[in-house]
Amino acid sequence: MPRWTRRGFLCRCAAGAVAGGGALLLGGCPRTPRDVLPGPRGGLPVAGTPLTSRSTVGVARGNDLYAMTHEALERIGGISTVVQPGESVFIKHNFLTGGLARDNHVLTGEIAKPEVSLAAAEACLLAGAREVIIGDGTQVASFDWTDLRTVDGTTHIVAEVARLNRQYDDRLRLAQLNAESPAWDPLPSPRTALNEIYVSSLVARADRIISVAVLKTHRWANVSLSMKNFMGVPPIERYGGGSERIGRFRLHYVEGSLEGAFLDMVAGLRPDLALIDASIGAEGYAPWVRPGEGRTVDLRERLGTWAVLASTDLVAADATAARMINHEVDRVPHIQRAHEQGLGQAQRDHIDLVGATLNELRMEWEPAIV
């Protein structure tokens, strides 16, 4: 099913507002203890037909994430196969720990590196995008973008956005979704008991959507990759826990499961491109890296180089990244579900890798769920 057009989406939102009395009621739920598992696993049933077509995943290896991102994009036909002149683009960057205490957000392995989103943004601008927004909604209401430094520590994303704007007529900006989203638009949520999930209008109304994720495991979802990345686009004011309104605990414990929630967002938004940062990631009881929980992994220590994956099929990108870290699809229920429901291709023999073989990319990686 195609993502809604801008006009169709706005018409639907208007109709929903009328039916619901025109008001978006914001509320939370009590914080649930961290060691309590989410509700029903597997989610509510959704009909679909598995894809039989082939998908392509481009892989670039090296030590320069900016250049590798451009190279990975070229291996799937270039950004012009995704973004057309005059279109708006939203790049959903995984900045999970923004606003939380960290010595260095970039080097923990919890978040995607700014070089990947910046290179993707430049590619979109070169393709003639009217506007490009790099954004995320983290666990808190707002955060400091200057915490998102380049891997070498010499600069940060704010300075790099300013540099690109000098070259490309101020068409690039940053957005903190919890604080700066103009509106929150409803998406259908047939996989959960919520019926609707609200997401930032900056994402829902963009012509093109790019997911920039990092390679890491996840204590409830097995892996956190390009599809799980969309947990950062609903408002914490509505889905947060307790009086602090942090995180999105209501979505973690919803009937139908956490996986059902983010698959509904993927199904409704229909993202156009996945980029997976396989440079410094996290293994074990992640996505957090803290004593006794997840651990940082520099992939140069296991592969000899870093890697960036690119695909217009998020399911294929996530299935490939999962296999890189020895997680087959049958060990990652949400990837299997996404494939079975027609959201993308997960079968290994139907995914063409360009730039590397799977055997060259496989490595040992401690799972989050044993």
Pairing type for strands 172-176 and 131-136 reads parallel
E strand intervals along 34-157: 55-62, 88-93, 131-136
- The one-character DSSP state at 246 is B
Per-residue confidence band for 126, with pLDDT thresholds at 50, 70 and 90: very high
- The predicted-structure confidence for 180-217, as pLDDT tens digits, reads as follows 999 999 999 999 999 999 999 999 999 999 999 999 99
- The predicted-structure confidence for 132-153, as pLDDT tens digits, reads as follows 999 999 888 889 999 999 999 9
pLDDT at 366: 97
| Mean pLDDT score across all residues of the chain | 88
> CA-to-CA distance for 173 and 133, rounded, in angstroms?
5
- The predicted-structure confidence for 232-284, as pLDDT tens digits, reads as follows 999 999 998 655 556 788 898 888 889 999 999 999 999 999 999 999 999 99
pLDDT at 24 over 50: no
pLDDT at 348 over 80: yes
Where exactly are the structural domains of the chain? 41-361
* Mean pLDDT, range 274-302, rounded to an integer: 96
Tokens read off for 9: 């989406």
pLDDT at 42 over 60: no
More confident residue, 248 or 173: 173
pLDDT at 11 over 50: no
Q: Which residue bears the tokens 């604080």?
A: 179
pLDDT at 9: 52
pLDDT at 43: 54
- Would you say 116 and 69 are in contact if contact means Cβ atoms under 8 Å apart? yes
More confident residue, 143 or 307: 307
pLDDT at 286: 93
> CA-to-CA distance for 242 and 204, rounded, in angstroms?
27
pLDDT at 296: 97
pLDDT at 3: 47
pLDDT at 67: 98
pLDDT at 175: 98
pLDDT at 5 over 70: no
> CA-to-CA distance for 100 and 276, rounded, in angstroms?
23
Cβ-count burial 121-137 (b if 16+ within 10 Å, e if not): bbbbbebebebbbbbbb
pLDDT at 80: 97
- The predicted-structure confidence for 75-119, as pLDDT tens digits, reads as follows 999 999 999 999 999 999 999 888 887 878 899 999 999 999 999
The pTM of the whole model exceeds 0.95: no
pLDDT at 28: 28
pLDDT at 355 over 60: yes
pLDDT at 141: 86
Peptide bond between residue 287 and the one before it cis (omega within 30 degrees of 0): yes
pLDDT at 33 over 80: no
